[in-house]
Structure 1
Amino acid sequence: MKMGGAERIIMTLINSIDKTKYKSKLLLMRKEGYYLKLLDQNTEIIELKKDRIRNAFFPVIKAIRKYKPAIVFGGWGEISAFLSPIIPFFPKIHFITRETNIVSKHVIRPEIKFFYKFYNNFSTIVAQSEDMKSDLIKNLKIKESKIVKINNPVDFDLIESKLKEKIELPYLKENKNVIAIGNLSKRKGFDNLLKVFIYLKEENIHLYIIGEGDEEENLKLQKEQNKLNNVHFLGKKTNPFPFIKNADLFVLSSRYEGFPNVLLEAGACGIFSIVNNCKGGINEIIQPNINGKIVNIENFHLFANEIKREVNIQHEKNIIKKSIKDRYSKEKIIRQYEDLFSVI
């Protein structure tokens, strides 16, 4: 239950689902991670004590046989793919998975690609966005009748509670402050974002990046080589929401997404976003000039000019929040999951 989007969605679903109709058991490879603190403490947790899914394969089968659930719900696409071959051996159980990525772009390991060949074994596959749905149909040959689109939920109550925490922020009032959040991986496109800030290094516009990852050393080297004194790496933060709320602008630089929770959360904090034109539901989330703007980040100079323009505009925070809450509130999305579970 580390601090990832999939883990947060599972936590929200377990915490919010109608407990008069559904009893949840959470099966984890390891019982650890920040979100355990926020999980409903009445939730029964089954810990396999395994580090790799290949080692958890038979323990998962054993757990399914022991507990005989009506529904097995997989919250992470790649793990679900590994388990998909066993589904025919449990004909009385409904297996549902929530896909987490644009699979054709994200999955490169041959062994995982192999297991995705069995993905049609699932009763239902939840796609987070139209982009994800199209990818599943076109590139993985998933039957369209098996796919249900359910967007990610935003837990406004959780965000509001986290915004009350006293956190010292690094922002200076004389600067315009831009925030970006994500795993420091190639997928998230922070290398492109640093190229954008080459055009802004003479401006009083500072970029703060929250996150850790394999590309951290390369990104910091890129910063030094380009003398980007207005770029700051903050590492991992258990509570990023005050950083978002008090920024002047949020930026998403990803090369592709599934359905980015952090973009929803930026909107929930009332912050305008500039987003790279990538696959992953971006066109569904962004309402142009209301809660954000979509720009091709590989046009570095144009992207920089848009940042320069938007940080100096006083955007209507309440309108931005409403654009997210009306479409992606926790209550609305959980109801869609309950409707899905109820017809099974």
Structure 2
Amino acid sequence: MPDLFAEKLLDWYDNHGRHNLPWHHDRNAYRVWVSEIMLQQTQVATVIPYFEAFMASFPDVQALASAPEDAVLSHWSGLGYYARARNLHKAAKQIVEAYDGEFPQDQEALESLTGIGRSTAAAILAQAFGKRAAILDGNVKRVLARYHAVPGWPGQSAVLKQLWQHAETHTPNHRVRDYTQGIMDLGAMVCTRSKPKCDSCPLNSGCVAYAESQTHLYPGSKPKKQKPEKTTWMLIFEDTEGRILLERRPPSGIWGGLWSLPELDPAYGAEELQEACEKELGLVCSDPELISGFRHTFSHYHLHIQPARLPVSGNTRIADSESQRWLHRDEALTLGLPAPIRSLLTEPEQSALL
């Protein structure tokens, strides 16, 4: 029997798929690449305004490669998973330096670039160059896991290997650009994580999970671990000129390379903040004003943030450097800031606790 998977999917895509996304216009490898990186772990509706703003500032790979990292991170603020932005910036420089600004049209060469894995490389080849290449993003994993009733969590290597085999088998030799967009659309619009619209799915006649009424079992869930809880003071130091002290975080790790507020060990009590700031940071401050705390969740843990505003009456140690800057709020907001820090700086009049 011929494999009708691709034909049915393409017929569905022609009538129901998404044909007018921003990266479909003036399509080239650069626009496809940026969209693919932004779409990792992020929904299309969220990505669209970020993509459009990013393209307005960095219209091609040369512009991105020559941009300051702070400018790139600033455009990413709120999208999360900031390593994606840093890797995008590094890869742009690699493309300019090693390939004269032209994207390689080879899977292995694309995968050698920072932040580009097997599926992203394949999406660039298929979407930008029309080359046959199998993709396997989160939406595609879900479609194939259900269609073939592949048990287990796709993060496990044995499960992933099976899904890649199915992805390779179903990818057609023709209309590969439409096929790759179509299978992503099907996963996002029909074969959804919860309450899939199986009755309107073009592949339901061959879907094992649907036939067995077990779509809820596929793909298997990631084994759950309890996320640890952490707490920190985040300090809004404001000097006599109305400037805020920001610190650049280390290049790797949470919020890597972004600018954030200084932090202090939560072991210090509120009544100890003034003394701790002078001892730990060399800053002489007036009485602290505590701002309502909140919790921010990362992929590996929950962080309880307790902000405090401290007017600085003397500065014994801190001067502008590569890792620390005194900036007015409007200047600070042009930098790459984590979303919670941006909110703290744009909404300074939160209700105080003291």
- TM-score, normalised via structure 2 length: 0.21
- TM-score, normalised via structure 1 length: 0.22
